[in-house]
Structure 1
Amino acid sequence: MFAEVSCASAPGSAGRPNEDLVIAGPSWAVVLDGATAPAGVDSGCAHDVPWLVARLGGALAARLSAGPRTGTPLTGVLEEAIAATMGAHGSGCDLGNPDSPSATVALARVAGGRLEYLVLGDSPVLLATAGGGVRVVADDRLERLPGGRPYSLELVRSLRNTPEGFWVAAARPEAARQAVTGSVPLRELRAAGLCTDGVTRLVDRYGWSWDTLAAELESRGPRAVIDEVRALEAGSGVVRGKLHDDATAVWARVTVP
């Protein structure tokens, strides 16, 4: 079990729905970051990104709430959740369209005296060690696409959920098997953090270290960290893409059995 879980999420704009989602239980936490659909792109789907995120989050929560007694690894949990979400689409949705709504996934689960983690896409997991350091579990495949940023829409479209590109949760359950996974004994940890890239801007753009981000999450909490992001964004203007992005963070303190 976690000793305590704190979380916060904020939309990037008051005029748009928050496409992030955070759900947590006594021994697990999930953070999803829906991929905003570019203007003019036909997703082939009757549903929007918040629908996909809500359905996928619900499917994950149902399975994680059943507990680790099922013996299903996190990759299996995610694969089942993606498949269930696909089944919720109607016949009018073209799930073969590479622009079908998608989301990144960060998971943490306590089971058998260990903390298990899964990362698919650019929403990392921070492992705060008992000795005071921070280990970052990240999936950087989106940052390693050919040609460097800014990426064209066609490049991203052609490489989404392919071995040569990057993987996200959309309409291919097998994408779950491509996630970055592992586990750590609880005795080696004091907490775990999960963040979307709207929060990790603090590191990627504004010069924070991962240790600083973890320390702020631990001492001041996720809401204060998101406030820090917003203040820096307002002061620096648009660096790349949107001025503000949806931002979500979780800080889960572990209990050593």
Structure 2
Amino acid sequence: MLISSASEPAPGGPANEDVVLVGAGFVVVLDGATAPAGVPTGCVHDVAWLAGRLGERLAAVLTERPGLELREVLRTGIERLCALHEGSCDLANPDSPSATVAMVRLHDGRLDHLVLADSPVLVQGRDGEPEVTLDDRVERLPAYDLASVRRLRNAPGGFWVAGTRPEAADRALTGSHSVERVERFAVLTDGVSRLVERYGWSWWRLLDTLDAEGPERVVRAVRAEERADPPGRYRGKRHDDATVAFGRP
């Protein structure tokens, strides 16, 4: 499996809270969820720490158990992450650091993928349209004030992220394709998928640009669109960490 990737922090941001890890037959992409300023998380670690440690543990599970169902990979990774800091942190705090997860794994003639929260996976077949796996539950919340988001995080009727609740893995979206039918794929954080969701690109254009010009070119395109966009036009951050991996099986 051939994979290229790029990851860049938001302009002016303190750290890149995205993670991309590439191994033998897999790619893992995470996007740490930035906590609002002043909100006590009950954790002595920051979001970048959590995303990095979770990514390492997911990569280890994928390496140790290459055929394990991807929801179980995620569950095991979250369990190992919790064991790493349960002695120093309040894992029952609903505002504990968390991350989105997107994975692609090549195994036994299949290309499997998993998505939890808003980091999508694109898979284009040799004769078909790009298939997009996008967990948009966070975009369908009834309200986005702090109390509502806290109440609906990792809760039925809300949205699910990876952090302190291993059972969140059961809510991940998964899929699988025969590798013989896959032409190319991409795994990205919402800092890159905004090219489609905000700025009018098509998934075809995104895949074609990745294929022809590489992930770094796509990240530069994100920054150009953000700079040209009037401040305050969209809910959420004007700039975000941007991460994308592109591959062929």
Length-normalised TM-score, structure 2: 0.96
CA contact (8 A) 2:62 2:68 kept: no
Measure how far apart 1:30 and its partner are.
0.3
Counterpart of 1:20 in structure 2: which amino acid? D
Counterpart of 1:179 in structure 2: which amino acid? A
Counterpart of 2:124 in structure 1: which amino acid? A
The reply on whether 1:230 has 2:230 as its aligned counterpart is: no
Which shows bigger deviation, 166-175 or 215-224?
215-224
The reply on whether 1:101 has 2:94 as its aligned counterpart is: no
Q: Quote the RMSD (CA, aligned, Å).
A: 1.2
Aligned to 1:26: 24
State percent identity of aligned pairs: 52
Measure how far apart 1:13 and its partner are.
2.8
Which shows bigger deviation, 194-203 or 85-94?
85-94
Size of the aligned set, in residue pairs, is 247
Q: Secondary structure at the match of 2:6?
A: strand
Distance 1:64 1:197 in 2: 24
Measure how far apart 1:15 and its partner are.
4.3
Measure how far apart 1:216 and its partner are.
1.1
Which shows bigger deviation, 130-139 or 114-123?
130-139
The reply on whether 1:191 has 2:174 as its aligned counterpart is: no
Distance 2:217 2:155 in 1: 37
Q: Secondary structure at the match of 2:220?
A: helix
Measure how far apart 1:88 and its partner are.
0.8
Which shows bigger deviation, 189-198 or 232-241?
232-241
Change (3 A) 1:130 1:236: same
Counterpart of 2:126 in structure 1: which amino acid? A
Q: Secondary structure at the match of 2:112?
A: strand
Q: Secondary structure at the match of 1:92?
A: coil
Measure how far apart 1:219 and its partner are.
1.3
Measure how far apart 1:14 and its partner are.
4.0
Q: Secondary structure at the match of 1:237?
A: coil
Distance 1:172 1:109 in 2: 23
Q: Secondary structure at the match of 1:146?
A: coil
Length-normalised TM-score, structure 1: 0.93
Q: Where in structure 2 are there 5+ consecutive unaligned residues?
A: none
Which shows bigger deviation, 8-17 or 39-48?
8-17
4+ runs deviating over 3 angstroms: none
Distance 2:216 2:176 in 1: 27
